[in-house]
Amino acid sequence: MTSDALPGPFSDRLGYLLKHAHLRYTEVSTRALAPLGTDGRELAVLAVLASDTPLSQQEAAGRLGVDRTTMVALVDALEAKSLAERLRSPTDRRKNIVRLTEQGRQLLDRAERTRLRTERDFLAALPAPDARILLSALRVLATGD
């Protein structure tokens, strides 16, 4: 979408601009990750599970900001692809620890390289200092800090 495609009354509206920038990035990211057989949601789960500390499904859901039902579905999908596995917690039999398989770690490495390249390409329309400022500003808005 070019700036000419923005409807006049919406060209300065934050919500509209954020939404459409997000939609464009999601489209580009989805296309880039598709050859790897994954998407942004799965990549986020893989990245969280790559933590040095073993995480329960509930802990991983909390870090991702998703509800428990959604987390179960995400882990189910990763297990079906042999990218993650559930194990009983050695300290609490009521908990499932979720960890990456070797295949999951390999995919995460490839997908992270793709993600970084995709982000760099997406932000290339901005001068490098502006891209850094944008990321910093979005971080502040997302965290409230």
pLDDT tens for residues 30-50?
A: 999 999 999 999 999 999 999
Of 34 and 9, more confident: 34
3-state secondary structure string across the chain: CCHHHCCHHHCCCHHHHHHHHHHHHHHHHHHHHHHHCCCHHHHHHHHHHCCCCCEEHHHHHHHHCCCHHHHHHHHHHHHHCCCEEEEECCCCCCCEEEEECHHHHHHHHHHHHHHHHHHHHHHCCCCHHHHHHHHHHHHHHHHCC
CA gap 50, 44 in Å, rounded: 10
Residue 40 lies in a domain: yes
Strand partners, 36: none
Structure tokens at 34: 């598709």
Give domain status of residue 113, yes or no: yes
Residue 112 lies in a domain: yes
Tell me if 69 is assigned to some domain: yes
Assess if residue 130 is contained within a domain. yes
Range of the domain at 25: 12-143
Residue 101 is assigned to a structural domain of this protein:
yes
pLDDT category of residue 6 using cuts at 50, 70 and 90: low
Per-residue model confidence as pLDDT tens digits over 44-100: 999 999 988 889 999 999 999 999 999 999 999 999 999 999 999 888 888 889 999
pLDDT of residue 106: 98
CATH number of domain containing 124:
1.10.10.10
Phi, psi of 55, deg, nearest 5: -115, 145
Structural domain total, the chain: 1
Q: Residues 6 or more apart from 105 whose CB is under 8 A from it?
A: 50
Is 54 part of a structural domain of the chain? Answer: yes
In a domain, residue 58? The reply is yes
Per-residue pLDDT at 112 exceeds 50: yes
pTM of the model: 0.84
Report residue 1's pLDDT band, with 50, 70 and 90 as the boundaries: very low
